[in-house]
Structure formats: structure tokens, C-alpha cells
Amino acid sequence: MRIEAVALTISLALLLATMAGCTGISDDDDDGISNADDNCLEAQNFDQVDTDADGLGNACDDDDDGDGVADSDDALPLDPGETTDMDGDGKGDNSDGDVDGDGIGNGNDAFPLDTSESVDTDGDGIGDNADDDDDGDGIADASDPFHLTPATSLDSPGPFIVGTDDFTFTGSTGIEITVQVWFPTADLEGEEVIYDNIYPGGAWDSATPDCSQTLPVALYSHGTGYGLRWMSAFLTERLASHGFLVIAPDHVDDTLFDSDNAKLYQTLLRRPVDLSDTFDWMVEKSEGKREFQGCIDPSSGYAVMGHSGGGYTALTASGATISIDDLEADCGTGIDFYCSMRDTWLESHPGSDTIDLSDDRIWATVALAPWDAFVLGTGLRMVQTPTLVLTGDADATTNLSMVMAIVGNLEDPSALFGVLKNAGHYHFSPIGCDAYGCDGLLNLSISKELTNEVVTLFLAQQLQWPGSSDIEMPDSEHLEWQ
């Protein structure tokens, strides 16, 4: 229709021109418009459009919209309010909400005129894509574990605000598992969590995970018979403040709320599987458009920590094996627990010599006042990961001699073993001190801070964080290294 209209206009103009010639009317450019009425005497301007109303029609005007920019240099020559269109999207830059067309609105773009840059984390005028040190902390991005967050001292809380939330999923054993997750959050405000409406914490409840950087993963296993996933929240929160994503499952039939001693042989076999299942669950949660999308690198694996019976869990998941012959011998003494553990395993693993519940994705192990469940023994020699053991010399639950026997069975000569002086079993699980009392023992604030410092530095060294290898373990009158 438009082509036909133009053709009709031209035909009409030619007709008028012909008539003008016949009637003696002057029309020098033969556009059908008399010279007296023509706004372009030397250029055919059939429709007589004059956008800027300056008396010159567009056909002979070098600046149609009268904005002072020649049409040849004007991206929008018919719009007096626009002269440039950087991204070529047809919207002038003055009214375009994203001038450089990089998908980041001008108000949120540190470089609104640079299509290759939009963020300048350290405000040094160099966009993050070109900057070798995005956060300006003196550590090159190539070796900086958190290139968008300035480094802080490992012996104090880290630079991240900590969020937390709980989730449930069904594990490989068919049991529904509840997990607590701690993580960095970019939320600017939040309410501090009260774990299970019982115990107050320092993390923001139901916060949004900040997955702008890949986070190392650490899993925590609580104690046997009385534990809960958040029992060492002072430690899990501290690690999250340094950029860790920490996950702790409730071990069903072995918590403060549902402990069943008759099922202990089952829960001891299932506990390490709970950890493996928990990591698998997080891997799924980090893929696609889910809560933790991009938060972790699954191929990097995870560190494992555990207190008391959680120490058994951590060590077993890290490679410690259980001898079927040893279970046979103990079963022969009339202890049904060992018989049941043996039979349960052999039912699904006939002909086995050992019980192996290890996960080769684990890269470090932390055992706090650990228990060996009286089944590990020399099987601890199979632990292949760097290991840290912390305990207290006033521990009446897993006493010092018991823990020393565990350490003695570890073949790794580099294993670290520290003893907190005058500290008991619940110094690693403070709610126990609230429930049972820790009167006359080491001040909890001291034990918590030392534990935080030691564990954070140990894991940082395993990850080879810049500068961590130059830092020595805390030297304190309250901590003795064996």
C-alpha cells in the first residue's frame, strides 16, 4: 500500500508539473509545486515535509530536525531530542534505559557507555572484566578464592553476612533428611535465626544465598544420641562468614528428638551415607534455576566435620573402614550390637571383608572430640585426607585416652592434634553446656574462638588460600598441640 501511495504521489506531481508547464506556472525542480510555494526550489520535495519548520524542506535541509547536528552525523535525523544511538536499537541514547545494550540498565551499569563492562567492584575505574584484581585486595583474581570480596584475617569473622535456611529431601536410603545450610548472603537486612525455635544463632534466617562467587563446601555431622544439625552453629556460622557453604543433616533416629539406641547399628551405617546424599542434594540445588544456582563447583568436592559421633561419621566418610572379622569376634562375646551391624552389612554386601562407607570427594576432615563407635580401630589407617582432631582434656564422654587412640591409628604423620585445656565434651557443642553445665571449665567464649580460628585456618590451608600457609596455628595457653 505504501509503494502504491508513493507512486500515486509521484504521478500526481508529474501531472501537476505538466499542467504547470501548460499554464505557465514556474516549477524549476519539476516536483509539481510552484516555485512560489516550494520549500525546496532546487530539489524535488513532493510532500513538502519540513520537520524543523525552518522554511527548508527536508529534501534540501542538511539538518532536518534542527538540532544542530547534520543529518549525516545524526543517528535520529528527524528527532530533535536525539542525535546518537550507541547500541543501534532505534532508541536515542537520551531516552534509552540501556545505552550500550549490554542488558544492564544505565542506573546499575558502572560503565553505561561500554558494552564490555558493567561492574567495577573496587571502584578503581577499571571494569571487572579488564581488572586483574576486581576487589582491590592486592590478591590477583587468578589466585583469589573470592575475587569480588576483599580478604580479611582468618582469625576473626569473615567479610560475608551469613544467611541460613533449612530444607528437606529424600536420601538414597529412602529416608527424609532435614538439613541446615549456612551461606554468604547479599541481603541488606534480616532476622537472626532461632534454630528449631530452640536456640538463637547469629545468621539471618531464610536469607537469599549469594552465588556471585563459587563457594567451597563443608559438611557437618552432629553427635550421636543427643545431637542436632545446628549443635556447632558457632563454627558453621564462622565458616560461612569466610565464604564457605556449610551443610549439616539431622541423622534420623539419632537426634535429640528421635534417638533410638536399638537402631544404633543402623544409624552408624547410614550416617556417612547421609553426608554423601547431602552433597549430592546440594549439587542438584546448584544446577538450573534453583536456590543455590552457581554456588558450588561439584567437582571440587567437600570437607567434612563432625563432633563426637559425628567424628566417627566424618572419619568413616573419609575412608576409615570397619573390619567384618572384628565384628565377628565382638559378636562372639555376646554383644548383639556387633552381630546386627555385621548382618545388616552382609545382607546387602555378601562376602565383604570390610565395611567401606567412604566418599572420595572429601578433601579434608575435622574431628571434634571424636568417638570411634568402638568399631573403627585399625581401619582408621585407611583415612587418606588431611585431618585435624581437636578435643578437651576434661572430656568425660570421649576421654582423652580414647581420642589419643583414634589419632594413634591415623597413619598420616601430618595430622594435626590439639587439646583444649580444661575443656569438656560440650565445649564443641555449647547447647550441651547450657543443658548440663560446664561450671569450673574453660570459658566457652575462649573455646569457641580457638576452635573457629583453628578450623578456619586448617581448611584455608588445604584450599591453599593465598597467605594461609604462612600463618601458624594459634599459640595459646589454653591450647596444646600434640
At 4 the pLDDT is: 55
458, 466 Cβ separation under 8 angstroms: no
pLDDT for the residue numbered 34 = 82
Q: Alpha-carbon Rg of the chain, whole angstroms? A: 36
- The grid coordinates of residue 102 equal 549490554
The pLDDT value given to residue 1: 45
Amino acid at 464: Q
CB 216 within 8 A of CB 362: no
Higher per-residue confidence, 67 vs 343: 343
How far is residue 361 from each of residues 299, 333, 379, 385, 441, measured CA to CA in Å? 8, 37, 19, 10, 38
> What mean pLDDT is predicted for residues 367-376?
97
d(CA 256, CA 477): 34
Q: What whole-number percentage of the chain has pLDDT above 70?
A: 95
Cβ atoms of residues 426 and 305 within 8 Å: no
Residue 342 has pLDDT above 50, yes or no: yes
Q: Which helix (H) or strand (E) holds 170?
A: strand 161-170
- At 67-121, the pLDDT tens digits run 888 989 888 888 898 988 888 888 988 989 898 888 889 989 889 888 888 888 8
The answer to whether residue 296 scores a pLDDT higher than 50 is yes
Q: Residue 25: is its pLDDT beyond 80?
A: no
Q: Is the pLDDT of residue 388 over 70?
A: yes
Residue 254 near residue 224 (C-beta atoms within 8 A): yes
pLDDT at position 20 is: 47
Q: How far is CA 404 from CA 138, 174, 182, 252, 442, in A?
A: 42, 36, 31, 29, 20
Match domain 161-321+356-481 to its CATH number in 3.30.70.1400, 3.40.50.1820, 3.40.50.1370, 2.60.40.10: 3.40.50.1820
Lowest mean pLDDT among 13-27, 142-156, 196-210, 402-416: 13-27
Q: Which helix (H) or strand (E) element contains residue 16?
A: helix 2-23
Cα(428)–Cα(449) distance, integer angstroms: 11
pLDDT at 3: 46
Of 313, 292, 318, 316, which is closest to residue 303 (Cα–Cα)?
A: 318
Would you mind telling me the total number of residues written for the chain in this entry?
482
Q: Are strands 176-185 and 161-170 parallel, antiparallel or unpaired?
A: antiparallel
| pLDDT tier, 58 (very low <50, low <70, confident <90, very high otherwise) | confident
CA distance 397 to 438: 13
pLDDT of 63 above 60: yes
- % residues pLDDT > 90 (the chain): 67
DSSP H helical ranges for 349-443? 400-408, 431-436
Count other Cβ atoms within 10 Å, centred on residue 152: 16
Mean pLDDT calculated for residue range 238-254: 98
* Confidence check: pLDDT of 6 > 50: no
d(CA 248, CA 240): 13
Q: Taking 50 as the threshold, does the pLDDT of residue 2 lie above it?
A: no
Sorted by where each begins, the domain ranges of the chain are 161-321+356-481
C-alpha angle 291-293-297 in degrees, rounded to nearest 5: 130
Nearest to 417 by CA among 348, 466, 370: 370
- What DSSP state is assigned to residue 207? P
Residues 229, 246 contacting (CB under 8 angstroms): no
What average pLDDT does this structure show over 447-473? 97
Using DSSP, state whether 481 is helix, strand or coil. Answer: strand
Can you tell me the distance from the alpha carbon of 223 to that of 254, in angstroms, rounded to the nearest whole number? 8
Identify any residues that bridge with 376 across adjacent strands, giving them in sequence order: none
The answer on pLDDT for 10 being more than 70 is no
Question: Rounded to whole angstroms, how far apart are CA atoms 116 and 206?
Answer: 35
Is 478 buried (19+), middle (13-18) or exposed (0-12) by CB count in 10 A? Answer: middle
Residue 122 near residue 135 (C-beta atoms within 8 A): yes
More confident site: 119 or 422: 422
Buried b (16+ CB within 10 A) or exposed e, 428-462: bbbbbbeeeebeebbebebbbbbbbbbbbbbbbbb
> Chain-wide mean pLDDT for the chain?
91
Query: Quick one: DSSP state of residue 298?
Result: G
Helix then strand count (H, E) for the chain reads: 9, 13
367: left (phi over 0), alpha (psi -120 to 50) or beta: beta
Provide mean pLDDT across the span 192-201: 96
- Three-class secondary structure of residue 88 per DSSP: coil
| pLDDT digits 0-9 by tens, 126-182 | 988 898 988 888 999 898 899 989 989 999 999 999 999 999 999 999 999 999 999
- pLDDT average, residue stretch 227-252: 98
Q: Residue 63, Cα to own-chain centre: how many angstroms?
A: 55
Q: What gap in Å lies between CA 389 and CA 219, rounded to an integer?
A: 16
Whole-structure pTM value: 0.84
Whether 421 has a pLDDT exceeding 90, the answer reads yes
Q: Is the pLDDT assigned to residue 15 strictly greater than 70?
A: no
